[in-house]
Structures are given as structure tokens and as C-alpha cells.
Structure 1
């Protein structure tokens, strides 16, 4: 089984599914494999027509059963120092190198390789495969998929999200909210600053307020928070604006994110910044230039995975792996979206998150073998789900 998984993983790595590009060739490849196993397959095309989610079902089309989910997109390789072609899988020292090998085409390859065994074992409840687009840019595809399934009234019982966790069971993670805030001022000569509205200067003030809020959030952590760190975090990821030394910058933008541990923190941050712009920054800008603006684009607001006292997916994975506990992680996944449908959800997959997004990304062969072992155990329990 490991050789077949390696072969499929090699094929999947060869599809250059960077989030900015199409994933349709990879979706077609996976769809064909699953159709050959008798699955009912549907490619859900996005509004651009260039990307798609894949939703496939083995067994009866009814409520219950389990979803095996992974995202098809990968991050760019631009300006990374790879030792081999990132889109050609290379095996060295019991590791499989290539973009997406760890995050998260390794899991997808293992799950699809196991499809014939699943098809032979599935009984009264279905097994679904959900492979999404644009996870790396805000879990856009998963959001569309979940909304579609809700509209259809389909209610799977549980979901396994195969993000790289070194096959540890993850039952919770923070949300991930990403924003781009843009400042529109008035250009002018640097020698007459009072006659223009310097967008860079107002963006700097905005960042300073963001950092003050960031410090304030440290004291708002729930007493029983299990996250590390236990509070909601804020990160300023990019700042752009201006052109030369002696021109008042008419435009600037700030790319930032927060990882809330609770919904009230996210509401606090957004309301505070909205009030700051409305009551302080914009009046100053518009006193000089009435058309000045501050706009915030919501890139993505992905809900977290909330740890639950009762979680059938956690119990199942503990049984399959032999683990006696589940953990929390700081990074985000699509898991919370599936949880919003009422499913019990865990994150567990091959590879180490430390390898994700880096040059020379790899998944250890031993990790793929461990994943195949868990999926084989799952096949033997399908009749019980």
C-alpha cells in the first residue's frame, strides 16, 4: 500500500496547485480514482470556473458516516531555496520531498489509495471524501462546500481533517481572521505636509493602535484556556505605501491577522478599530480632504475548532491510534467549518507542521505508513459508524 501511496503522491505533487492557480487537473485526477472505486463524485466549481471542491461518497447517500478532508492548494515556492524541483517528488533518506508533500497532499494520497478498501467495507453509513480549494487563502473552498452541504441538508456524523500533526490527535485550535486595511489620502509635495493627507502616516497610527490592542488581549485570556499562548494574538504581516522621499503618500495598506481564542475577542478587536477609524483618524483626514477613506477588506474569517467534552471522532481516533489524549494547536485549519455543521471533528494527519510552507518540504515515509495504518483500521470499523 505504501508504494501505491508514493506513486499517487508523486502525481499529486506534479500538479502545481498554488492557491493563485487552478486545481482542476488535480481534482479530475482524484475524481477518476474515486469513480473507479464506485464512489459518487461531484466537482463543485467555484465562481471563477478555474477551481473546484471535490465531494465524493462511498456507500448510501444518507446522514451519518465520516468525512475525510484535505485541501488541494499549496503555498508558492517563489524566492525559496529548494534543493530539487519542488513540483517533482524526490525520495531521500526515507523522506518524500516536494511542495505539498506534507501540507497536505500526503494525506490525500493515503486516503484515496485506501478507497478500494473503504469501498469493500462501507456498510449502512457513508464515507465521504472532501477535497477543497483555497485553504491557504482563507478556507474559501471549505466555506463554499459546507454551505452547499447545509443547503442540501446532508449531516455526516464526524470528520477527520488530515492536516500534518505527526499523527497526533488535535481536538481544538484558534480561529484565523485575516484583513487588509487600506488608507486613501491626498498626494502632495513633501515640503507642504499640511496640504496633503499622508496615507502612510495614518496607516502607522493604525498599526500603533493594533499593537496596543495586541498587548491588551494578553490580559483577556480565559482562565481555563488550554491554548499556547492562551490569549488571542495579533500579527501585522505586511505594510505597503508611498514611493519616494519627497511625495506625500496618497495610498497605504496594512495586512494583518488575529487568532481569536473566543468570539468575544474578535468582536472586541473589530469594534475597537472601527471606532478608532470613525472617531479619530477619519475626521483628521477629512478635515483636509473630504474624500479620504479607510477601508478594511475581510480576506477570511475562519472559525476555530472548539474542544468539546463529548467528541465521537476523538474517541474513534484514540481507538485507532492507541493515544490516550488529544491536544490543541495554534495554527488554523478547516475543521471549525465542519464542526459548524454539527459534526464531531478532529485533526490528524501525516507529517510535521514545522515542514509546511518551507523550502524542501517533506513528509517522512514512516508518517505515511502510520497514516495508512490508521486508515486501514478505520476501514475495519466502517460498519460500526
Structure 2
């Protein structure tokens, strides 16, 4: 019970930092580093290129390869426009729940890991436990890459990673990849009474969106051979479209933002390549004779999926610690795919329910936080000398 209260106190402190992805996380990192100095624990700060954000790589136990990383992110999604019943950055508590932005996604896991450091130290570990706190997970999932690149160089190379995104303490060994794009159409502007003498960027964009919808329906029909995902197919979604100047002007510009979430094993560039094939047809037809008219698609982010690795140390260890008999798959992307792509086995397992994430009055059940602490306690016992 004492450790649970420590975790709740730590969560209260972490929630108090407004670490929406558009802002710096350095005040939070400074706070955690001060705590680590008090605990006499080693850590390495890995700043981003602009220096306004940083990841933190923490080590308890021997300075050796073969450890286990507990991976969490420090950034949260915005609260703007959401109807909160209290201050999102002040942790509130009732009999069963803890409320605040990031409580479940995923400062609850971060707080549990940090609160367990005294027990990790007391366990006299034979293999290290690392805690990795990243940034920009909610926007790019690129936050841990600078740390990952140093594995086996000036940082020890781990043998397993547990990413603590909320899974209700189930063990997920698979998730979809995600790629996001912006497609920009340049038309030929003219008075709408002379529509035939121009090219409407809005009309062309609508054709492209319809092509993506047709492709999405084909992916839905193809389904998920594994039968593990919900929804059981790769998905395409157009989230934002904007363009045009006035009702009576043939639109010169239009752009739309879209995403492709692919099942493990599916080519991550599949949707982009198919849309580009369709765009090439348009370049040979409707854009001909109109100087400057055309269409281009830019890739914004690409987050790798997580593919099952049956029998990996990450899977075996997490199933044992979580007391589960089987793994699950989740439809959202995490940083786990980044570790797997670097050759380190990874799973996703953390406290709370994903449907509480990104919501007003976001919360984590206290019982879930307690269950996470038990898993972490078991990890220390597993790795002790």
C-alpha cells in the first residue's frame, strides 16, 4: 500500500506538468532527474535536435547488456475544446479512480516505474532494469530513436522491452503500423463561369479521396488473416480537407490529410503507392495544358507496426509477470515497433484502458496502478542476483 501511495504522489507531480506534445517536456525531465539524484540512480539525457525536449534513459542495476526496458512517454494530447470537470493538470482522486491529463496515457505507468526505483535498488539485480521516458509519442513516435541508436555503443543493449501503454495489463504482441500524409493539389484558377478552361483543385481532391475510399473498401474486404485485430483489416482515413477561395472561383489549391494503418506484414507504403498510381493517370490527362497544375503527396510520419515474436524474451517475461496465458493485438500504434525494428524484442503491457485515453476527465483505475506495481515487483524478483 505504501508503494501505491508513492506512485499516486508521483503521478500527481507528473500530471502537473503540461507536456502537451507542442510544448517542452524539459521541466518534467528536470524534476525526474532531481528525484533520480536523490535515489543515486544513473541516467542519461538525450535531447532532441532543437534542445527543447529530451528523452531520459535510466538504469538501475549493473551497467551491462541484457537488461529490460520499461518504456513510457512524457507527452500528452491537448485538452483544448474538451469539457473537463476540473483542472486537467491537477490530479483528482475518488475511491476508485485518478483523474488528469495523462493519467492513463501514460504517466500512470511512468509514475509506477519511478516509484518502484527503491525496490529495484534493494533487489540487487543481476541484470539491469532501465526506464526510458520519451517525447513526441503522440505525434511522431520518434522520441526514443536517439536512445535506441546508442544501444551497444555508449548505452547497454537490452534484451527485452515492455512498453507500458494502457492494455488493462494484458500483453499485446502485435499492433498496426501508421503512416500519415498530406496530399496537395494545384489547379488552374479561373472564373467558375468558364469552368471548362480551368482545373478545380477541389474537384481533383474529391476524386483522390474517393479513390482512397475505394482502396479502403478493398482492404476491408481482404480482412485480417490472423483474425486478431479490431477492426479486422487495414484502414485508410481522410481526416482534414481544405481548399478553394470562393464559390465562383475554380479552386487553385486544395489539400487533405490522411492516414494508413496497416496490419503487421502489410507493406507500409501500400496506400501511398496505389494513390500515386492514380495520380500519375491524372498527370497524363486532366493536368495537361495547365501550367503549374499537378498533385503531390508528402509523407509526414511513419510508425512501424509490431509483429508477433512467439517465444521472445519480451513475450515470455511479460506473460509470466502479468499472469496471462495468451497475447492480444491492439489497433493503435506505439513505440514498440521502433524497438523491434532495431532488433530488440518488445511487447505492450500497461495499466488502464485505452478507451479512457485522450478523453475529457481521463482517468486510471487505482486497482490498475496497483496491478502494474505488482508486475514491476515481479520483474525485480525475476532479475535479482
Same fold (TM over 0.5): yes
Give the direction of change, closer, same or farther, for the CA distance of 1:269–1:105 in structure 2 (3 Å limit): same
Question: What residue is the counterpart of 2:189 in the other structure?
Answer: 187
For residue 149 of structure 1, give the secondary structure of its aligned residue in structure 2. Answer: coil
Q: Match of 1:124, SS?
A: coil
Q: How does 1:82-97 map to 2 (within 5 A)?
A: 82-97=84-99
Question: Secondary structure of 1:298's match?
Answer: strand
2:177–2:268 Cα contact (<8 Å) kept = no
Structure 2 alignment gaps of length 5 or more: none
Q: TM-score, normalised by structure 1?
A: 0.94
Q: Which residue of 1 aligns with 2:284?
A: 283
Map 1:163-174; keep pairs closer than 5 Å.
163-174=165-176
1:296 aligns to what SS in structure 2?
strand
Greater CA drift, 190-199 or 48-57: 190-199
* Structure 1 residues 183 and 66, CA gap change in structure 2 (3 angstroms): same
For residues 227-275 of structure 1, give each alpha carbon's deviation from its aligned partner in whole angstroms, at most 9, with x where no partner exists: 2233211111111112431222222211111111144443432221111
Q: How far 1:120 moved relative to its partner? A: 2.2
The Cα shift of 1:79 comes to 0.8
Q: Render the CA deviation track for 1:137-195: whole Å, top value 9, x for unaligned.
A: 12021334323436657420101100011111111111111112122223332222233
Distance 1:167 1:312 in 2: 17
2:110 counterpart (103, 108, 113): 108
Secondary structure at the residue paired with 2:333?
Answer: coil
Pick closer, same or farther for the CA change 1:130–1:293 going to 2, 3 Å.
farther
User: Where does residue 74 of structure 1 map in the other structure?
Assistant: 76
TM-score, length of structure 2 as denominator length:
0.94
Aligned residues: 383
Tell whether the 8 Å contact from 1:15 to 1:26 is kept in structure 2 after alignment.
Answer: yes
What is the alpha-carbon distance in structure 2 between the residues aligned to residue 152 and residue 194 of structure 1?
Answer: 64
**In structure 1, what is the equivalent of residue 315 of structure 2?**
314
Residue-by-residue CA offset, 1:320-359 (whole Å, 9 max, x unaligned): 2222111111111111111122222111111110000111
CA gap of 1:274–1:145, structure 2 versus 1, over 3 A, is farther
SS in 1 for 2:263: coil
> Which residue is 2:48 aligned to?
46
| 1:242 aligns with one of 244, 248, 252 | 244
Structure (1/2) with the larger helix percentage:
1
CA gap 1:285/1:87 in 2 versus in 1, 3 angstroms? farther
Match of 1:229 in 2: 231
Structure 1 unaligned blocks of 5 or more: none
Residue matched to 2:260: 258
Cα RMSD between the aligned structures?
Answer: 1.9
